[in-house]
């Protein structure tokens, strides 16, 4: 790639960054701006950021996997360094002086006698085909913005109440849409009386395409009333869901595709059986379960669409404008060049919620009313009942200890459904929700097991700990009763919970302090450092045990994907021993994300992940039955409330001489364990340890 797709110089003294990855609350636009401003030696206020747009920004996949800083940040660092090098060379050539004699201050280049600016040198010209790699990025010691808590670019408008989200969009001659969903996934529309809804004030059209049902109205409240009328006058052939009580027994009993995982990568071939080593003095086994979780975004999904002159324009809070463009084109039998997708911010979700599905809803209604833009918002019941959930998991562990109390054998078997069904262009199928309900439906593709490093089910299943022998197995089950896809952390949440829980069970079996037990099984100095830092930050008491007043501590550790941010979390937990009520009092986080770009942004990521995972652990679980998903509002799907949030402290271990590491999902795994083990240590009567000797 060359400089031009990423960076543009404007004659008015600004630099525009063409960022194809999207802002979902992680602060990526601000961090990239810091990197570019530092490399270019210009004031931060000169930076403008172009949001992801299939007609303007470079081609990119999804903003996911905690990859933004590592991939996008690195690309802009290289591009800015190359631009600085070429502009200095242009000035040096014009003045016939060595480049080494030139200095830059806020984009002004001088040799001590003459001066010019980047904008005078470049204007609005392009750099051409120059590849990235010319010009070396600065050394960490030369940075003035990288490593500083620069205020986020997106916050002032939100704080001031300026329209910022796709929900706020107000286009000329815009109408409003709503969709009506069936009771369960496989239900079909048998009959609909359209007349009642169609006769309501402001209603423009009732749109039916097979079992896809929607309404268009001049005003939002008119669309809502019409949707209610359609619901009351629709008759569905209902295909029931299975009973939730059998979730985990069914998960293990179903036919699965099994893979031995070696160094985080699934291997084709036979899976070896568990074999207890001859030097085992003690062997324990345990089973751990994780339910379905929602993204539960505070705002339901929304999108706008305009169908005009055989072209579709979509405004979406998708996490991938290019994959969504291709998926919409495929589902609507259009060419890619007939579809434009522009990103606007929406409710944060860190994963695959309803943002892409609502875009197809809006597009179908827009095609029914050419020339007028349609803004379509899901209801809370739509969001809770129809988003793609984080998959349920079951993990079985077995480990043996030798005569020295060291783990000499480790076994980890993880069963789960797919953790990714994000929309992508495909022939004869679609992962967009509405496509499966049309008169000529496109069914969802049958899920396939991921084979990449630390993907889906096997993400973080391979422990970072140094064991003499290990066996890690992924059991992929294709037929989930609920729609599942990427949720922050993917399989790392269930796997790290199981690993860290079992490590403490083993520590207890050897009467060892949990931290000391972990450290003696860790060779990675950065891993050891975050554990020690978190323990110090939390004033760790040996063993984290009960203080006689229902108080305990728990520590969880992981390096996300065994390749990104290192994190250790210690929770102080109080438990009412009569009721079993758990109260979080303090959380101490230590993180090593390599070179820190924005410490405030990094701390926010680690804190936010801890609080979301605390909510998953203590509150959240998707409930369903034969009549469909029953968790349809905040009463039936409760989340952690503000009054329940603990005090949180963060210790950042900056490593400026090492690459930046992704951190957006780093605390999701360690946090659930540290909370529940703290509860165990506080003698929570509701906990029943799953471990047992063999």
Residue 77, classed as helix, strand or coil, is helix
pLDDT band at 685 (very low <50, low <70, confident <90, very high): very low
DSSP assignment string, 15-31? EEEE--S--SSS-HHHH
Q: What is the Cα–Cα distance from 444 to 428, expressed in whole angstroms?
A: 9
Residue 248: burial class (beta carbons within 10 Å; 0-12, 13-18, 19+): middle
**Model confidence over 127-143: pLDDT tens digits?**
887 777 788 999 999 99
Q: Are strands 647-652 and 234-237 parallel, antiparallel or unpaired?
A: unpaired
pLDDT at 68: 82
* Furthest C-alpha separation in the chain: 83
First to last CA, the chain: 57
Return the structure tokens found at 517. Answer: 């037990």
Is it the case that residue 286 has pLDDT exceeding 80? Answer: yes
With a threshold of 0.85, does the pTM exceed it? Answer: yes
Q: What is the Cα–Cα distance from 583 to 576, expressed in whole angstroms?
A: 8
The mean-pLDDT minimum among 29-33, 271-275, 346-350, 491-495 falls in 346-350
Is it the case that residue 556 has pLDDT exceeding 90? Answer: yes
pLDDT at 676: 61
pLDDT band at 24 (very low <50, low <70, confident <90, very high): confident
Using an 8 Å Cβ cutoff, are 389 and 417 in contact? no
Using an 8 Å Cβ cutoff, are 71 and 65 in contact? no
pLDDT band at 692 (very low <50, low <70, confident <90, very high): low
Q: Which region, left, alpha or beta, applies to residue 159 given φ > 0 means left and ψ of -120 to 50 means alpha?
A: alpha
Q: Could you tell me the sign of the dihedral formed by the alpha carbons of 259, 262, 264, 268, in that order?
A: negative
Return the structure tokens found at 296. Answer: 């539960």
Task: State the average pLDDT over residues 301-327.
Answer: 97
**Model confidence over 321-350: pLDDT tens digits?**
999 999 999 999 999 999 999 999 999 889
Task: State the average pLDDT over residues 245-262.
Answer: 96
Cα-flanking dihedrals φ and ψ of residue 498, to 5°? -70, -45
Using an 8 Å Cβ cutoff, are 680 and 686 in contact? no
Is it the case that residue 223 has pLDDT exceeding 50? Answer: yes
**Model confidence over 381-400: pLDDT tens digits?**
999 999 999 999 999 999 99
Q: Are strands 470-476 and 551-559 parallel, antiparallel or unpaired?
A: unpaired
Is it the case that residue 591 has pLDDT exceeding 90? Answer: yes
The mean-pLDDT minimum among 110-124, 170-184, 410-424 falls in 110-124
**Model confidence over 351-367: pLDDT tens digits?**
999 999 999 999 999 99
Using an 8 Å Cβ cutoff, are 652 and 591 in contact? yes
Is it the case that residue 549 has pLDDT exceeding 80? Answer: no
pLDDT band at 482 (very low <50, low <70, confident <90, very high): very high
Q: What is the Cα–Cα distance from 468 to 503, expressed in whole angstroms?
A: 15
pLDDT band at 688 (very low <50, low <70, confident <90, very high): very low
Using an 8 Å Cβ cutoff, are 401 and 407 in contact? yes
Task: State the average pLDDT over residues 290-319.
Answer: 97
Q: Do the domains at 166-239+296-386 and 250-292+390-419+455-693 have one common CATH topology?
A: yes
Report for 59-68, 274-283, 572-581: range of highest mean pLDDT: 274-283
Using an 8 Å Cβ cutoff, are 394 and 365 in contact? no
Using an 8 Å Cβ cutoff, are 246 and 394 in contact? no
Is it the case that residue 590 has pLDDT exceeding 80? Answer: yes
Please identify which residue in the block is written with the tokens 């020295």. 404
pLDDT at 475: 98
Q: Where are the chain's structural domains?
A: 7-154, 166-239+296-386, 250-292+390-419+455-693
Q: What is the Cα–Cα distance from 665 to 65, expressed in whole angstroms?
A: 8
Residue 25: burial class (beta carbons within 10 Å; 0-12, 13-18, 19+): middle
Return the structure tokens found at 630. Answer: 């029953």
Q: Could you tell me the sign of the dihedral formed by the alpha carbons of 367, 228, 168, 431, in that order?
A: negative
**Model confidence over 227-253: pLDDT tens digits?**
999 999 999 999 999 999 999 999 999
Return the structure tokens found at 251. Answer: 């998960």
The residues, any chain, with a CB within 8 Å of residue 588's CB and separated by 6 or more, are 534, 537, 538, 569, 570, 648, 649, 651
Residue 235, classed as helix, strand or coil, is strand
Using an 8 Å Cβ cutoff, are 58 and 22 in contact? no
Tally helices (H) and strands (E) across the chain. Answer: 15, 28
Is it the case that residue 682 has pLDDT exceeding 70? Answer: no
DSSP assignment string, 53-72? BTTTSPP---S-TT-IIIII
Q: Strand locations in 170-233, DSSP E?
A: 175-180, 188-192, 203-209, 212-217
The CA-CA-CA angle for residues 368, 373, 376, to 5°, reads: 80
Residue 484, classed as helix, strand or coil, is strand
Cα–Cα separations (whole angstroms), residue 466 to 174, 280, 406, 407, 470 = 60, 17, 10, 9, 9
The mean-pLDDT minimum among 53-67, 400-414, 581-595 falls in 53-67
- pLDDT averaged over every residue in the chain: 93
Q: Which class is 250-292+390-419+455-693 in CATH?
A: alpha beta
CATH assignment of 166-239+296-386, among 3.30.1330.20, 3.30.565.10, 3.30.365.10, 3.40.50.1820: 3.30.365.10
CATH assignment of 7-154, among 3.30.365.10, 3.20.20.70, 3.30.70.260, 3.90.180.10: 3.30.365.10
DSSP 390: B
């Amino acid at each position: 790639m060359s400089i031009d797709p990423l960076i543009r110089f404007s004659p008015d003294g600004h630099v525009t960054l063409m960022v194809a990855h999207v802002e979902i609350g992680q602060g990526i636009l601000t961090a990239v701006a810091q990197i570019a401003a530092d490399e270019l030696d210009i004031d931060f206020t000169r930076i403008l950021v172009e949001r992801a747009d299939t007609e303007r920004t470079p081609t990119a996949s999804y903003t996911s996997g905690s990859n933004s800083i590592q991939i996008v940040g690195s690309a802009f660092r290289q591009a800015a360094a190359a631009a600085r090098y070429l502009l200095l060379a242009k000035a040096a050539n014009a003045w016939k002086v060595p480049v080494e004699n030139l200095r830059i201050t806020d984009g002004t280049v001088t040799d001590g006698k003459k001066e010019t600016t980047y904008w005078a040198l470049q204007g609005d010209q392009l750099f051409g085909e120059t590849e990235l790699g010319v010009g070396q990025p600065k050394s960490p010691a030369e940075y003035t913005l990288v490593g500083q808590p620069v205020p986020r670019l997106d916050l002032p408008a939100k704080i001031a109440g300026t329209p910022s989200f796709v929900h706020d969009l107000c286009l000329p001659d815009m109408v409003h849409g709503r969709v009506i969903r069936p009771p369960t996934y496989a239900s079909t529309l048998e009959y609909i009386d359209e007349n009642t809804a169609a006769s309501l004030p402001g209603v423009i059209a009732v749109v039916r395409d097979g079992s896809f049902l929607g309404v268009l109205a001049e005003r939002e409240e008119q669309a809502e009333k019409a949707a209610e009328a359609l619901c009351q006058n629709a008759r569905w052939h209902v295909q029931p869901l299975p009973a939730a009580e059998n979730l985990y027994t069914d998960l293990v009993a179903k036919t699965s595709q099994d893979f031995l995982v070696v160094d985080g990568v699934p291997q084709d071939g036979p899976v070896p059986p568990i074999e207890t080593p001859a030097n085992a003095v003690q062997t324990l086994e345990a089973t751990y379960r994780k339910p379905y979780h929602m993204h539960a975004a505070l705002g339901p999904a929304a999108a706008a669409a305009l169908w005009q002159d055989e072209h579709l324009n979509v405004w979406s809070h998708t996490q991938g404008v290019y994959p969504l463009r291709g998926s919409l084109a495929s589902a609507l039998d259009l060419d890619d060049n007939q579809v434009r997708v522009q990103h606007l911010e929406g409710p944060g979700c860190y994963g695959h919620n309803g943002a892409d599905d609502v875009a197809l809803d809006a597009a179908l209604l827009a095609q029914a009313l050419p020339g007028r833009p349609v803004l379509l918002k899901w209801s809370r019941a739509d969001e809770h009942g129809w988003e793609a959930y984080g998959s349920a998991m079951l993990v079985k562990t077995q480990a043996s200890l030798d005569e020295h109390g060291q783990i000499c054998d480790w076994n980890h078997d993880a069963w789960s459904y797919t953790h990714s069904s994000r929309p992508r262009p495909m022939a004869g199928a679609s992962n967009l929700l509405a496509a499966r309900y049309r008169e000529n439906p496109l069914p969802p593709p049958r899920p396939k097991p991921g084979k990449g490093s630390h993907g889906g089910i096997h993400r973080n299943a391979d422990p970072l700990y140094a064991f003499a022998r290990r066996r890690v197995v992924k059991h992929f089950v294709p037929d989930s009763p609920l729609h599942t896809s990427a949720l922050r952390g993917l399989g790392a949440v269930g796997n790290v919970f199981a690993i860290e829980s079992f490590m403490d069970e083993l520590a207890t079996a050897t009467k060892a302090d949990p931290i000391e037990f972990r450290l003696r099984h860790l060779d990675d100095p950065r891993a050891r450092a975050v554990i020690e830092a978190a323990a110090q930050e939390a004033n760790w008491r040996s063993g984290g045990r009960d203080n006689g007043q229902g108080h305990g501590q728990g520590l969880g550790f992981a390096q996300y994907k065994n390749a990104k941010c290192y994190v250790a979390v210690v929770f102080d937990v109080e438990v009412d021993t009569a009721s079993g009520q758990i109260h979080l009092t303090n959380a101490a986080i230590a993180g090593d994300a390599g070179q820190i770009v924005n410490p405030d942004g990094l701390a926010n990521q680690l804190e936010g992940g801890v609080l979301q995972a605390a909510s998953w652990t203590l509150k959240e679980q998707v409930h369903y039955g034969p009549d469909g998903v029953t968790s349809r509002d905040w009463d039936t799907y409760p989340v952690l409330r503000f009054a329940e949030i603990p005090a949180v402290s963060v210790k950042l271990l900056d490593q400026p001489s090492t690459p930046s590491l992704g951190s957006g999902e780093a605390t999701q795994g360690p946090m659930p364990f540290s909370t529940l083990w703290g509860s165990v240590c506080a003698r929570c009567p509701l906990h029943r340890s799953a471990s047992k000797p063999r």
